[in-house]
């Protein structure tokens, strides 16, 4: 069993983030001491924590991370990731269009 601090160091997730993920039902500790409230994790939870960390680095919303992690079917998980990819691509297209428009505004009138 790993303390929340040990698990934090191993997964590169802050203690605060781990607490938030617990409260959100995303990454539940293996056990919680009912007297002290101390959370304990197992080494087997590290890969899941790393996946969650990576998805958040890729700007996947927390609700979508929850759906992806909870999804047992690899095809369905891929579809959920694909949905996020399409949203990012649409956002990128909007950003590119805005950049083009702003560059036009900066050009002096002929």
Q: Is residue 75 part of a domain?
A: yes
Do 5 and 52 share a structural domain? yes
For 75, the domain range is 71-110
Q: Is residue 78 part of a domain?
A: yes
CATH number at residue 52: 1.10.1660.10
* CA atoms within a 13 Å half-sphere pointing along the CA-CB vector of 49: 27
Read off the pLDDT of residues 2-57 as tens digits, 9 standing for 90 and up: 999 999 999 999 999 999 999 999 999 999 999 999 999 999 999 999 999 999 99
Name the phi and psi angles at 75, rounded to 5: -65, -40
The model carries a pTM of: 0.83
Reference 57, options 76, 83, 30, 84; nearest CA is 84
Do 51 and 87 share a structural domain? no
Read off the pLDDT of residues 65-94 as tens digits, 9 standing for 90 and up: 999 999 999 999 999 999 999 999 999 999
Q: Is residue 81 part of a domain?
A: yes
- Provide the number of structural domains found in the chain: 2
Do 53 and 93 share a structural domain? no
Q: Is residue 98 part of a domain?
A: yes
Do 55 and 27 share a structural domain? yes
């Amino acid at each position: 069993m790993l303390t929340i601090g040990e698990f934090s160091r191993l997964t590169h997730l802050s203690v605060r983030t781990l607490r938030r993920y617990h409260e959100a039902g995303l990454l539940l500790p293996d056990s919680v001491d009912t007297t002290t409230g101390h959370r304990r994790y197992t080494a087997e939870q590290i890969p899941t924590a790393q996946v969650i960390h990576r998805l958040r680095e890729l700007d996947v919303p927390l609700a979508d991370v929850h759906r992806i992690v909870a999804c047992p079917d690899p095809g369905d998980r891929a579809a959920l990731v694909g949905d996020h990819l399409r949203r990012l691509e649409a956002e990128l297209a909007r950003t590119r269009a805005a950049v083009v428009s702003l560059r036009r505004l900066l050009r002096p009138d002929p």
